[in-house]
Structure 1
Amino acid sequence: MKTVSSLPTEILHRIAQYSDQDSLRSLRLTHKRFSSISQSQLLHTVTLTTSNKSISRFTELLNDKSRAQLVRKVVLDTSKWDAYFDDGEYNGYETNDENDSDFDPDPEIVNLRKFTKLFDRLRDIPRLHSVVLRFHPVCMVNDDFGDCRQTVEFRSTIFRAFVSALEKLDTPIRELAIRDLQNVNETDPDVLASLRKILGNLRSLRLNIANEHNEGNGEYDLEYEEPHKFFPELSSIWLQPTLSNLKHLTLYSSNYFGYYPKCDLSGLHFPRLKTLALGNYAFIHDTQLDWILSHKTLQELYLDDCCILNEVAIYDKQRTYLNPQQYTALPEQYVSEKSYAAYDKRWDHYFRAFKDGLPRLRHFRYGHSQNWWVEDTTPFEDEAELTIGMHRDSYQVFCDGYGPSPYMKEMIWDHDEDRGEREALPFREDDQKALVELLDHIGQGYSMEDEEKRLIEEAKWATS
């Protein structure tokens, strides 16, 4: 009778690949073959945080060439760092002698400096393929009350050290992910030049973008200037350098984007793109659909909590996805001082367009991830796990000036007591039917389990 240890090496690797960390540690003790395979899987991804313990362990790993050779992915995680950041003290630590009795730096700053110094030692990981940089999801530009510890200065300091280290690698990384990237771009031309060089070698890019949030007054979130500067720059700074080689692109935002703030991707074409994932993206015009359809190479497409805006009413029409000429002015009794536009496409149009226009598509998910706001942030590296199906926010309107968000279910009409709120546009049977047809067409299918998950999600929303 054959034992597990006599199985082919490929199968043993697959067993280890699907085992959790505790199981891998146990497998290491069962057999010599499992020991090496489990060790390889355990060290495939390592995480460095700003804690003293993590810094020591990571340093030990780097000093052990045999173990460092097993690492393929590194996560540089600052999300738990919540001390006050002082740029002068941080930079002063570099120039002062730690043995100087007059030098008494903040221990948190010392650890942070040790943390960023280890970035340059990424070159000691010969098979490094993928790097993740993680920040805290809460971000602010003007923090008058000191509530936000990860300031713009803090994030910029970390990011510059990160970019500098990646540029020095002997072998460029192929996968880059930044979790909770604040919507403020670097302006230093040298940093941007280094970033372009790194981006040009990538095969996979994930950007989970964090936006400043006004707690209790969400309608003010889009009045900050940062998102209206960051998202229009997304193409030129982050995406243009990746065009030639990128195969995987994930763009998530903690607030809706696409329509307002404007994010126009139509001028970009990725000739090798196989996977596209969008989270919290709002569709308002056929050109957004056409942009997706222009990528005939797509094999995987994920749309997580993405909505179609069937009506929009906005004060500032100059900064939206639509051209100002595409708006109409309604009589004052309907919408005062706002510009209005409507969109007649529905999700069944989109699903049928994907079915007919993406010949290589093999995996598609439209729906809602259960991991939104776990750890108070957006889903990360979780594109293929969202619950398939139409959901509560599949259709929305944009009604400027109202909260808790201008993205809402019903249009609120000003100065019209008779009409009040328009009824929400529900998703239709045609939408779900077209979704199922698309899934059947690509050979993925739609199961009863998918429908049960969707109904459970709907029930959660209904009671929230």
Structure 2
Amino acid sequence: MDLRNILTPSYPIQGGSLAWKGHQRLTKETKIQVCEILQARDDMDSLHSLAAVSKEFYTIATGLFQQTVTLEPTDTSIRHLKICMENPGLARRVRRIVIKSVPPAFDALGVWPYRFPGQHGDEHAQDWEAVVADLHRLPALESVVLTFTTLCADQRDDPDEEQPVTYICEPPEVRNWILEVVFDALAAINDIPGRRIVSFTVMNLQNKIHEAASLPAFTSVISRLRELRVEVVTEVIPHLGSRPGEEEDKKEYWELDMQIRLNFWADFNTFWLAPAQATLQRLSVSCLDPFGVVPRWDLSALHFPRLQHLELERFTFSYRSQVEWIAAHKMLRTLWLHGCPIVQQWRTRGEYESELDVGALVLHSVQPRTL
């Protein structure tokens, strides 16, 4: 392994400072990655500011704007994408699409459950599904960003009042449907001779493996990727009582079982990573909450022979095997670690106790212990 770029300070997060020191030393490839991260996180203010830092950043950001289209679940956004598809000159320029599962200013909306994101209803969902199915009409498309909301579910605003539910966003059923629609469309692109989706980013993936991940279309897309970026969201709420007049079987709809959460990272390996082992060159994984030890993310059964860039955020190091796994990737050239602590002492309880391998806590010479 010949690491040439080890980065530990975080890149600017949404709303963060763009006072990059020594940005001149960054490689062009790294600068492109930074711009793509900001765009995927919908941090357009930071991206515009970054474009003013240097001529090279300006060129990269401008090119990204020109080659990227955005699809939101609104009539206007769907109409604009259809116009782009129908214009051969515009369609040929699109290399990247950002698919957002909720409309702009979503936090201000009251959203009923069991309905496609927003207040658009079934008819709008059908329009959205149809335009996603037509993504093959963008002949140069090779990179896809799928952005869910960070709010998997949340408290009802006032359960005693008959008003729309506030912040009931994307339960597993809705997220699963979106994944099915998107991956069916991407698999159709891969079936076209000479076409291939090489880069996929998913923002705010819920810490649950959805049924769509077991479908052939999903595996066929993942297995051909060169770049995969996953940001996991872990929002879970306790049992919700039903409001007056509501069907009894709806009251537990938003609750995510603890065992599902504990199994997530092992299942993530099976469905999201294992199919991509032979082709993946760039891998980025982050989570809203610390992960790696508790809950356990065991990578020992995976190896990416072509991996050149690895990025981890909020990944906890406590086992020597975690470092050895990284070192085993001989092609690795770039390692980015963002907010990744080294932890020697743990206090666990309940279901999380089984996640901790006390005997393997030997990362440092000082004998680690649990509290």
TM-score, normalised relative to structure 1: 0.55
Letter in 1 for 2:347: A
Cα deviation, 1:377-396, whole Å, max 9, x if unaligned, reads xxxxxxxxxxxxxxxxxxxx
- Output the aligned Cα RMSD: 3.6
Which residue number in structure 1 is paired with residue 215 of structure 2?
192
Which residue number in structure 1 is paired with residue 184 of structure 2?
164
Residues 277 and 143 (structure 1), Cα distance of their counterparts in 2 relative to 1, 3 Å cut? farther
Equivalent residue in structure 2 for 1:58, among 67, 81, 96: 81
Equivalent residue in structure 1 for 2:325, among 291, 295, 301: 291
Equivalent residue in structure 1 for 2:200, among 176, 180, 190: 176
1:153 to 2:173 alignment: yes
Cα deviation, 1:290-320, whole Å, max 9, x if unaligned, reads 0000011111101111111111132346631
Offset of residue 72 of structure 1: 0.4
Unaligned runs of 5+ in 2: 1-30, 36-46, 52-59, 160-164, 239-254
Residues 177 and 207, structure 1, Cα contact 8 Å, conserved in 2 = yes
Offset of residue 214 of structure 1: 5.2
Distance 1:121 1:276 in 2: 32
Equivalent residue in structure 1 for 2:235, among 204, 207, 212: 212
Offset of residue 79 of structure 1: 3.6
1:345 to 2:364 alignment: yes
Residues 231 and 262, structure 1, Cα contact 8 Å, conserved in 2 = yes
Offset of residue 222 of structure 1: 11
Distance 1:141 1:192 in 2: 29
Residues 73 and 130, structure 1, Cα contact 8 Å, conserved in 2 = yes
Residues 126 and 277 (structure 1), Cα distance of their counterparts in 2 relative to 1, 3 Å cut? same
Distance 1:119 1:155 in 2: 15
Distance 1:235 1:110 in 2: 36
Which residue number in structure 1 is paired with residue 249 of structure 2?
none
Cα deviation, 1:21-58, whole Å, max 9, x if unaligned, reads 79x9xxxxxxxxxxxx9997643011111122111111
Secondary structure of the residue that 2:211 maps to in structure 1?
A: coil
1:301 to 2:335 alignment: yes
How many correspondences in the alignment? 284
1:86 to 2:109 alignment: no
Cα deviation, 1:254-307, whole Å, max 9, x if unaligned, reads 011111111101111100000000111111110011000001111110111111
Distance 1:69 1:160 in 2: 26
Residues 143 and 298 (structure 1), Cα distance of their counterparts in 2 relative to 1, 3 Å cut? farther
Deviates further, 223-232 or 198-207: 223-232
Residues 186 and 192, structure 1, Cα contact 8 Å, conserved in 2 = no
Which residue number in structure 2 is paired with residue 271 of structure 1?
305
Distance 2:75 2:185 in 1: 21
Equivalent residue in structure 2 for 1:138, among 151, 161, 183: 151
Distance 2:361 2:304 in 1: 30
Residues 222 and 261, structure 1, Cα contact 8 Å, conserved in 2 = no
Q: Higher relative CO (CA 8 A, sep ≥ 6), structure 1 or 2?
A: 2
Letter in 1 for 2:197: I
Residues 230 and 285, structure 2, Cα contact 8 Å, conserved in 1 = yes
Identity %: 24
Distance 2:231 2:212 in 1: 22
Distance 2:62 2:234 in 1: 39
Secondary structure of the residue that 1:179 maps to in structure 2?
A: strand
Equivalent residue in structure 1 for 2:355, among 282, 300, 320: 320
Distance 2:63 2:363 in 1: 53
Residues 184 and 143 (structure 1), Cα distance of their counterparts in 2 relative to 1, 3 Å cut? farther
Distance 2:120 2:348 in 1: 49
Distance 2:185 2:155 in 1: 29
Secondary structure of the residue that 2:139 maps to in structure 1?
A: coil
Please identify the structure whose Cα radius of gyration is greater: 1
Offset of residue 188 of structure 1: 5.5
Letter in 2 for 1:205: L
Residues 200 and 229, structure 2, Cα contact 8 Å, conserved in 1 = yes
Residues 141 and 152, structure 1, Cα contact 8 Å, conserved in 2 = no
Equivalent residue in structure 2 for 1:254, among 254, 266, 288: 288
Distance 2:86 2:48 in 1: 23
Residues 234 and 263, structure 1, Cα contact 8 Å, conserved in 2 = no
Offset of residue 112 of structure 1: 3.0
1:239 to 2:273 alignment: yes
Unaligned runs of 5+ in 1: 1-13, 25-36, 91-105, 216-220, 327-340, 350-396, 400-410, 412-464
Offset of residue 111 of structure 1: 2.6
Distance 1:257 1:208 in 2: 12
1:120 to 2:140 alignment: no
Residues 141 and 151, structure 1, Cα contact 8 Å, conserved in 2 = no
Residues 227 and 282, structure 2, Cα contact 8 Å, conserved in 1 = yes
Distance 2:286 2:177 in 1: 23
